[in-house]
């Protein structure tokens, strides 16, 4: 996007021009965007001036001596309360009058949402437009009471006699009286007529109508300060109650409170307290004249308070000025930030530089953000906001995605490293509201200090997205440059060399050791497409699968107490429901589509397929169990609908009979045919049944010729070596020749030959050709095209998962052999496989197990990927290790200013355009990263921690 992208599109510009005058005036809508009758504007003006009218009545009666000041204020307040309540009742009446008509109205979607059709000066549409009313009845009464109280206090506070006694100037009295009542009218209109949208909006929705209370609240505070100042100095409040703030023993309490304030300040803010004491002591020593007001009129506590306030505001002023100058200069020096209006804006800021300094000073004095409008060099004093800037609990919201897991893993280690760095002073002067940015490879951690004391520090850590957009990448590249210049190019720098990025809002601080994953991605060209590597892939797969099947059966055998219990436990030891979602669908589909052969075997040529009644011999048929037969064999035919016979549903309703199956085209079935039963395996060693694989894993429909071929390819020496590594420590009594007997058992070896052949048949088919890279990738991801062998294999979920795991181990072994050299012996091969099993997760990034492995801190993770646009295969390896993470401190005022503009722009101006100017990359201000780090829904961090308390000692 170019630098001259519109700040607001045409629709938003029109919307903003209508909303802004309404905000300034407190609610009156004097710019509608369409033609409206004059009485709409006249009615709003009359309602706007109504508080002044009732206040004028009370003021006139007081000035004429008819009433005392408090009586006149009470009268004005009562009149305002009655008026406010009457206006709300009028709105309720108008709503009830038109509710039936509104329900029958057909809304025109092409009509502007703000457009109304007015019929008369006091018509229902007019009333509802001018006075929208309250959502809740309690607010109707409560806001009316507040309106009366505000009008009464305003009448009392703005009595001309009081103002004249205070200022002794008639002109000043008139100015204060007029502008004071305009202020009260604005507050009253926002409270009882129509609430204006505030520029300082914190949330998108105002569920409890709190916004209406904001302007009256400020007026109440202003008036209450004057009242409280007169009252809290007295022993008794209003002459009735004893003031709890007034000390019982003036001498002892004053001394105690002064000491308490000093100790609390030192405890909560040690570094600044030390600086303040040094300044106070230096001023004491340099003031040679003991009669100066500094020495004569102020005690030490007041001096420390004043110095602390000045120090805090001075630091804020410098940070805000740095931020303002950075925006001003980069609007021209950064080519992509140079707009057509940049020269004019710079000239105006230079010409009115004293005004700019005044704005910065006022912003610092109020401790409010310096708001750059649309992040242009147009500065406003923002609304005072909390240092956190965002409402809601800490860490309660984040845009969780697959990248979140990497931040969840590193945050505990990062918090421990920050604890050490904070205690050692490596992060500089850390205060509540300080922001830090950490960088490692593609990860960006945003740290916000929430609270700070002498022995603790509370922080919130956020993680930014890893999928870099162009704007994100441009700013991340600048961050890398800054850290590289500070930490990696030190040999080329001179002593006391200046910071080449001094004007940037990021200042490097230190590096901290953090235990996290380094991410390495490699192109596998020359490895995955090597004919030699692929040629050995099948043979290695057989070896890996043999090892995995033996290990699987050996682990299962540990749950059996004796060889005789193996057969009893075999059925329950291989549950079919423990498998991934990849094979659930095919099995469920097969079960749902199955039907019984016996449900159709009694149909004859003379039978009516639409006859809902069964033949007599079907009714008289006995259950298979009664005849001593085996259970029914269920088959599946596409297009058929499964049902149950009347034998199982004797009380079937007539309408349920419509769901009976209509089966057509079923092949002939021999009635006396029994289901295939595998012959019992006779082991030569009684302990062989401990390592026997389940019977159902040996039922693959493989030709006998392939079985003979697999016997020749079967790695018998490797099989014997794998068996020799078993210890059988869990057996209480075992013969010394156990391993030898197992190796000699041919029946056991045949079982493993059939098991391995079944898996090869499922993954590679019956073809002995060298697999292509594409087939290897699809086999690794579990996305092999359908075949009869794969259909059989996915019907055995545990075996399918073992085969898939074995293939992934084989692929990783192929990469290791290509990069590290061939495997020398069986012992080295076992070491490879045991390392894969204990220290690696080999799978896909999209797997749930991948995220679990990251959180469990597996030392290594591997994933295979494919880029179809470039036609390349890539390998991704995550390695867990302790590495140095770079930490830099951000200009806190720059962050607060950009967040204040973000809140104003999205919640007030509703400028949510994804390509808006204020979200474009700004390498000097890190504008895009700062927007990301804001709390949702305005920002979109992928991770946000809870409050982390870091003890500093």
pLDDT tens column, 800-838 = 999 999 999 999 999 999 999 999 999 999 999 999 999
Q: Is 604 helix (H, G, I), strand (E, B) or coil?
A: coil
Helix, strand, coil content of the chain in percent (nearest 5):
55, 10, 35
User: What is the average per-residue pLDDT within 843-864?
Assistant: 95
| Per-residue model confidence (pLDDT) at position 238 | 56
| Per-residue model confidence (pLDDT) at position 306 | 87
| H helix or E strand, kind and range, residue 523 | strand 506-523
pTM of structure: 0.76
CA distance 184 to 188: 6
* CA distances, 87 to each of 81, 128, 150, 900 (Å): 10, 11, 17, 36
CA distance 52 to 463: 53
CA distance 389 to 271: 25
- Position 292 pLDDT exceeds 70: yes
The string of pLDDT tens digits covering residues 665-703 is 334 444 444 445 667 788 888 888 889 888 888 888 888
Minimum mean pLDDT among 32-36, 64-68, 194-198, 487-491: which range?
A: 487-491
- Position 231 pLDDT exceeds 70: no
515: its two tokens:
């235990």
594: its two tokens:
């199955």
The string of pLDDT tens digits covering residues 306-333 is 888 899 999 999 999 999 999 999 999 8
| Per-residue model confidence (pLDDT) at position 631 | 38
Residue 570: exposed, middle, or buried by beta-carbon count in 10 A (0-12, 13-18, 19+)? Answer: middle
| Per-residue model confidence (pLDDT) at position 644 | 39
CA torsion sign for 148, 149, 150, 156 is: positive
Predicted confidence band at 280 (pLDDT cuts at 50, 70, 90)?
confident
Q: How many Cα atoms are found within 13 Å in the side-chain-facing hemisphere of 677? A: 6
- Position 249 pLDDT exceeds 70: no
Which own/partner pairs from 851-859 qualify as long-range (CB within 8 Å, at least 24 positions apart)? 851/402, 851/405, 854/405, 854/406, 854/408, 854/409, 854/517, 854/878, 855/405, 855/408, 855/409, 857/409, 857/515
| Per-residue model confidence (pLDDT) at position 949 | 93
DSSP 903-953: HIIIIIS----TT-GGGS--TTTTHHHHHHHSPTTTS--SEE---EEEE--
Most confident range (mean pLDDT) of 200-204, 356-360, 744-748 is 356-360
CA distance 69 to 66: 10
CB of 62 closer than 8 Å to CB of 69: yes
CA distance 904 to 198: 9
- Position 901 pLDDT exceeds 80: yes
| Per-residue model confidence (pLDDT) at position 297 | 74
User: Bigger pLDDT: 360 or 257?
Assistant: 360
Query: Using DSSP, how many helices (H) and how many strands (E) does the chain show?
Result: 33, 15
Q: How many Cα atoms are found within 13 Å in the side-chain-facing hemisphere of 572? A: 6
CA distance 23 to 350: 30
| Per-residue model confidence (pLDDT) at position 185 | 95
- Position 454 pLDDT exceeds 70: yes
In the block, which residue shows the tokens 């090597």?
530
Minimum mean pLDDT among 53-62, 517-526, 535-544, 573-582: which range?
A: 573-582
To the nearest whole percent, how much of the chain has pLDDT over 70? 79
- Position 26 pLDDT exceeds 80: yes
CB of 643 closer than 8 Å to CB of 658: no
Q: In 3D, which of 753, 795, 771, 337 has the Cα closest to residue 550? A: 753
CA torsion sign for 660, 664, 666, 669 is: positive
Q: Is 635 helix (H, G, I), strand (E, B) or coil?
A: strand
| Per-residue model confidence (pLDDT) at position 326 | 94
CA distance 493 to 487: 11
Q: Tell me how crowded residue 66 is: count the other CB atoms within 10 A of its CB.
A: 10
| H helix or E strand, kind and range, residue 240 | none
| Per-residue model confidence (pLDDT) at position 657 | 37
Q: Is 869 helix (H, G, I), strand (E, B) or coil?
A: coil
Q: How far apart are the first and last CA of the chain?
A: 50
Compute φ and ψ for 348, nearest 5 degrees.
-65, -40
| Per-residue model confidence (pLDDT) at position 229 | 61
Predicted confidence band at 630 (pLDDT cuts at 50, 70, 90)?
very low
25 CB contacts (<8 Å, ≥6 apart)? 48, 186, 189, 196
CA distance 331 to 328: 6
Are β-strands 456-463 and 948-951 bridged in parallel, bridged antiparallel, or unpaired? antiparallel
Mean pLDDT of the chain: 80
Task: Give the residues across from 286 on adjacent strands.
Answer: none
User: What is the average per-residue pLDDT within 375-383?
Assistant: 92
CA distance 679 to 660: 38
**Angle CA 504–505–510, to nearest 5:** 95
User: Bigger pLDDT: 371 or 698?
Assistant: 371
- Position 76 pLDDT exceeds 80: yes
CB of 199 closer than 8 Å to CB of 904: yes
CB of 62 closer than 8 Å to CB of 159: yes
| Per-residue model confidence (pLDDT) at position 155 | 93
To the nearest whole percent, how much of the chain has pLDDT over 90? 42
56: its two tokens:
């004028």
* CA distances, 662 to each of 272, 653, 659, 770 (Å): 88, 18, 9, 46
CA distance 500 to 507: 11
Q: Is 864 helix (H, G, I), strand (E, B) or coil?
A: strand
Helix axis angle for 137-157 and 170-188, nearest 10°, is 180
CB of 128 closer than 8 Å to CB of 114: no
| Per-residue model confidence (pLDDT) at position 600 | 35
| Per-residue model confidence (pLDDT) at position 115 | 66
CB of 891 closer than 8 Å to CB of 505: yes
Minimum mean pLDDT among 195-204, 214-223, 322-331: which range?
A: 195-204
User: Bigger pLDDT: 119 or 89?
Assistant: 89
- Calculate the CA 789 to chain-centre distance: 43
CA torsion sign for 837, 841, 842, 848 is: positive
Q: Is 643 helix (H, G, I), strand (E, B) or coil?
A: coil
167 CB contacts (<8 Å, ≥6 apart)? 173, 176
Residue 783: exposed, middle, or buried by beta-carbon count in 10 A (0-12, 13-18, 19+)? Answer: exposed
Minimum mean pLDDT among 197-206, 479-488, 551-560, 751-760: which range?
A: 197-206
CA distance 633 to 628: 15
Q: Is 519 helix (H, G, I), strand (E, B) or coil?
A: strand
Minimum mean pLDDT among 176-190, 263-277, 573-587, 818-832: which range?
A: 573-587
Minimum mean pLDDT among 225-234, 530-539, 645-654, 769-778: which range?
A: 645-654
């Amino acid at each position: 996007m170019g630098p001259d992208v519109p700040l607001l599109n045409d629709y938003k510009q029109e919307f903003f021009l209508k909303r802004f005058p309404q905000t300034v005036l407190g609610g009156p809508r004097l710019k509608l965007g369409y033609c409206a009758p004059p009485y709409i504007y006249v009615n709003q003006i009359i309602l706007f001036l109504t508080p002044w009218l009732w206040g004028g009545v009370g003021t006139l009666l007081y000035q004429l001596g008819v009433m005392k000041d408090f009586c006149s204020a009470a009268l004005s307040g009562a009149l305002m309360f009655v008026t406010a309540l009457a206006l709300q009742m009028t709105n309720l009446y108008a709503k009830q009058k038109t509710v039936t008509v509104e329900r029958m109205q057909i809304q025109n979607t092409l009509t502007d949402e703000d457009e109304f059709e007015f019929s008369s000066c006091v018509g229902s549409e007019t009333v509802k437009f001018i006075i929208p009313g309250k959502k809740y009845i309690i607010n109707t009464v409560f806001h009316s009471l507040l309106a009366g109280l505000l009008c009464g206090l305003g009448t009392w506070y703005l009595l001309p006699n009081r103002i004249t006694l205070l200022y002794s100037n008639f002109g000043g009295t008139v100015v204060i009286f007029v502008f004071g009542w305009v202020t009260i009218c604005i507050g009253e209109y926002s409270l009882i007529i129509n609430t204006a949208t505030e520029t300082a909006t914190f949330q998108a929705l105002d569920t409890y109508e709190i916004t209406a209370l904001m302007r009256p609240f400020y007026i109440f505070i202003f008036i209450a300060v004057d009242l409280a100042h007169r009252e809290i100095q007295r022993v008794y409040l209003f002459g009735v109650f004893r003031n709890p703030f007034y000390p019982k023993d003036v001498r002892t309490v004053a001394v105690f409170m002064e000491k308490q304030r000093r100790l609390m300040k030192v405890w909560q803010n040690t570094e600044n307290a030390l600086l303040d004491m040094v300044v106070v002591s230096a001023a004491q020593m340099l003031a040679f004249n003991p009669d100066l007001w500094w020495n004569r009129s102020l005690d030490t506590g007041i001096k420390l308070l004043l110095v602390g306030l000045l120090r805090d505001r001075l630091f804020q002023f410098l940070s805000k000025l740095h931020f303002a100058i950075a925006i001003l200069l980069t609007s021209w020096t950064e080519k992509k930030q140079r707009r057509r209006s940049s020269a004019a804006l710079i000239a105006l800021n230079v010409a009115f530089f004293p005004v700019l300094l005044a704005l910065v000073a006022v912003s610092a004095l109020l401790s409010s953000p310096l708001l750059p409008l649309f992040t242009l060099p147009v500065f406003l004093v923002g609304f005072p906001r909390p240092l956190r800037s965002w409402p809601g609990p800490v860490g309660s919201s984040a845009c969780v995605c697959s990248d979140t897991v990497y931040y969840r893993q590193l945050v505990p280690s990062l918090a421990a490293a920050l604890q050490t760095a904070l205690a050692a002073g490596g992060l500089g002067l850390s205060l509540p509201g300080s922001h830090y940015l950490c960088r490692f490879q593609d990860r960006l951690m945003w740290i916000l200090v929430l609270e700070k004391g002498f022995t603790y520090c509370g922080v919130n850590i956020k993680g930014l997205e890893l999928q870099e957009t162009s704007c994100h990448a441009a700013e991340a590249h600048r961050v890398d440059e800054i850290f590289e210049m500070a930490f990696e190019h030190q040999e080329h720098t001179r002593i006391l060399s200046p910071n080449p990025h001094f004007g940037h809002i990021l200042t490097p601080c230190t590096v901290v050791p953090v235990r996290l994953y380094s991410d390495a991605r490699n192109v596998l060209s020359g490895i995955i497409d090597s004919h030699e590597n692929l040629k050995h892939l099948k043979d290695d797969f057989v070896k890996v699968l043999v090892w995995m099947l033996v290990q699987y059966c050996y682990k299962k055998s540990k749950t059996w107490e004796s060889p005789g219990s193996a057969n009893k436990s075999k059925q329950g030891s291989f549950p079919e429901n423990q498998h991934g979602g990849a094979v659930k669908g095919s099995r469920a589909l097969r079960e749902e589509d199955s039907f019984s052969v016996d449900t159709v075997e009694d149909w004859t040529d003379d039978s009516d397929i639409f006859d809902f009644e069964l033949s007599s011999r079907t009714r008289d048929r006995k259950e298979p169990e009664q005849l001593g037969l085996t259970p029914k064999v269920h088959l599946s035919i596409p297009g058929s609908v499964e049902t149950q016979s009347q034998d199982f549903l004797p009380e079937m309703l007539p309408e349920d009979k419509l769901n009976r199956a209509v089966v057509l085209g079923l092949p002939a079935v021999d009635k006396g045919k029994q289901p295939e039963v595998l012959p019992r395996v006779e082991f030569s060693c009684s302990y062989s049944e401990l390592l026997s694989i389940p019977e159902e894993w040996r039922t693959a429909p493989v030709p006998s010729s392939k079985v003979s071929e697999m016997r020749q390819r079967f790695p018998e020496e490797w099989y014997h070596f794998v068996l020799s590594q078993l210890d059988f420590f869990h057996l209480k009594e075992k013969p010394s020749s156990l391993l030898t007997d197992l190796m000699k058992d041919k029946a056991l070896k045949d079982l493993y030959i059939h098991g391995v052949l079944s898996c090869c048949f499922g993954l590679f088919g019956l073809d002995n050709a060298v697999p292509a890279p594409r087939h290897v990738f699809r086999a690794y991801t579990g996305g092999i095209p359908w075949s009869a062998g794969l259909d059989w294999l996915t019907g055995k979920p545990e075996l399918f998962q073992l085969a898939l795991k074995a293939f992934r181990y084989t692929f990783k072994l192929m990469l290791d052999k290509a990069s590290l050299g061939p495997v020398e012996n069986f012992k080295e091969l076992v070491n490879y496989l045991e390392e894969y099993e204990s220290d690696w997760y080999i799978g896909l990034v999209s797997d749930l197990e991948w995220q679990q492995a990251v959180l469990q801190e597996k030392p290594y993770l591997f994933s295979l990927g494919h880029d179809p646009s470039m036609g390349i295969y890539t390998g991704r390896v995550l390695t867990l290790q302790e590495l140095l993470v770079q930490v830099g401190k951000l200009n806190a005022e720059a962050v607060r200013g950009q967040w204040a503009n973000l809140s104003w722009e999205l919640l007030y101006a509703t400028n949510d355009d994804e390509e808006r100017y204020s979200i474009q990359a700004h390498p000097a201000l890190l504008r895009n990263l700062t927007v990301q780090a804001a709390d949702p829904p305005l920002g979109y961090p992928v991770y946000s921690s809870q409050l982390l308390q870091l003890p500093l000692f």
